[in-house]
């Protein structure tokens, strides 16, 4: 049944590149990754800016959460050609512990805890959390003169100049740089999560930065995990997202509005770039706009790359998902809970339970 559904989508072949069929993981590593990363940047999100090493300082370090956690406020100051921007972040981790696995979390607000970010429960599960508000990186609008965008963008955006999702992702990788310097962190167990547009950010980040051991894109929908080809009638389409949020992407992406079949990639290509690492995807039954079937099918198709590495990818029955499904036995996971567009404690618990078994 699933294969029949995928055939209807007419998806780009992950393994057929420039007239050559990729047959081994070595060829995927050498040819496939570079090809898809280039296409996805050029035609979708835009190219990442050059890496700039920020100045980092910790202004507040205290014990919190009933004495269970250390909380540090960490500030990143970027300087590009004399222009500066400082990004505040929050680093919270179990007190007096070593080899701590970490979530980097790009959030809609700087609040600790936050309605999408149950920090105490995350700490109680043994994870640390390193959070940042996306608006503190660069504002969630079409203004490219502020934040990190203001440091790198000059004048009108060119066709391949990056949108805001790349700037948010860029900051997540600089946070990863910092975690690599901390002795209490298990550098092999750092991942990233985010919700909705920031779920798109979490997926993109792990696809392009292989230091991330896992990613948990929650309700990421269109231009996140969900396939663009064959989107359901009530699901968000490329035309919808480019009309409302054109600044999230490079301007090249706009030409695929109502023209998804011409798009040289689809979202399974982005998911596949995480292989052979872990990706766990969350959907919500009432979040029709995010098109849960298209998210699920994207995971199935991308799993072909995990199989090339001798791994399972998504392990699931031969059917579309139903409410209550939790498929987390493989390196690719998918769950569909009841409720609306939200990152709930239920989502967090599914992710953490799966990660504790796999990491």
In contact, 157 and 165? CB cutoff 8 Å: no
Q: What is the pLDDT of residues 5-34, one digit of tens each?
A: 999 999 999 999 999 999 999 999 999 999
Structure tokens at 251: 């301007």
Q: What's this model's pTM, rounded to 2 decimal places? A: 0.98
Which domains, from first to last, does the chain contain? Answer: 2-358 (3.40.50.1820)
pLDDT of residue 284: 99
pLDDT of residue 154: 84
In contact, 212 and 190? CB cutoff 8 Å: yes
Q: What is the pLDDT of residues 309-356, one digit of tens each?
A: 999 999 999 999 999 999 999 999 999 999 999 999 999 999 999 999
DSSP line for 84-100: EEEEEEEEEEETT--SE
Structure tokens at 51: 């890496």
Residue 276 phi/psi, 5-degree rounding, is -95, 20
Closest of 36, 75, 31 to residue 55, by C-alpha: 75
Query: Which residues lie across from 102 on neighbouring strands?
Result: 128, 190
Distance CA 278, CA 311 (A): 11
Element (H, E) at 191: strand 185-195
Coil, strand or helix: which one is 301? helix
Blockwise average pLDDT, block size 10, the chain, 359 residues: 96 96 97 98 99 95 95 98 98 97 98 97 98 99 97 92 99 99 99 99 99 99 98 95 98 98 98 99 98 99 99 98 98 99 98 98
Distance CA 21, CA 3 (A): 20
């Amino acid at each position: 049944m699933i294969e029949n559904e995928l055939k209807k989508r007419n998806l780009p072949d992950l393994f057929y590149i420039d007239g050559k069929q990729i047959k081994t993981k070595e060829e995927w590593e050498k040819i496939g990754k570079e090809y898809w990363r280039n296409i996805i940047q050029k035609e979708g999100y835009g190219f990442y800016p050059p890496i700039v090493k920020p100045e980092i300082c910790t202004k507040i370090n205290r014990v919190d959460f009933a004495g269970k956690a250390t909380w540090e406020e960490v500030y990143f100051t970027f300087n590009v050609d004399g222009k500066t921007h400082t990004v505040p972040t929050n680093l919270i981790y179990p007190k007096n512990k070593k080899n701590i696995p970490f979530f980097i979390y790009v959030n809609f607000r700087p609040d600790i805890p936050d309605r999408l970010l149950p920090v105490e429960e995350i700490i109680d599960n043994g994870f640390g959390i390193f959070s940042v508000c996306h608006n503190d990186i660069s504002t969630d609008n079409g203004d490219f003169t502020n934040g990190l965008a203001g440091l790198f963008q000059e004048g009108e955006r060119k066709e391949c100049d990056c949108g805001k999702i790349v700037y948010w992702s860029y900051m997540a990788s600089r946070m990863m740089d910092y975690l690599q310097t901390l002795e209490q962190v298990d550098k092999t167990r750092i991942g990233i999560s985010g919700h909705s547009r920031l779920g798109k950010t979490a997926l993109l980040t792990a696809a392009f930065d292989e230091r991330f051991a896992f990613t948990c894109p929650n309700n990421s929908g269109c231009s996140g995990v969900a396939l663009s080809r064959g989107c359901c009638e009530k699901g968000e389409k490329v035309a919808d997202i480019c009309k409302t949020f054109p600044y999230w992407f490079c301007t090249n992406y706009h030409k695929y509005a109502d023209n998804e079949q011409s798009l040289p990639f689809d979202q399974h290509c982005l998911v596949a770039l995480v292989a052979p690492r872990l990706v766990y995807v969350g959907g919500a039954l009432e979040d029709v706009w995010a098109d849960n079937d298209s998210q699920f099918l994207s995971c199935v198709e991308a799993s072909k790359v995990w199989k090339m590495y001798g791994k399972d990818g998504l392990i699931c029955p031969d059917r579309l998902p139903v409410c209550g499904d939790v498929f987390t036995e493989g390196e690719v996971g998918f769950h569909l809970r009841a409720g609306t567009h939200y990152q709930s404690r239920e989502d967090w618990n599914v992710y953490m339970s799966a990660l504790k078994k796999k990491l």
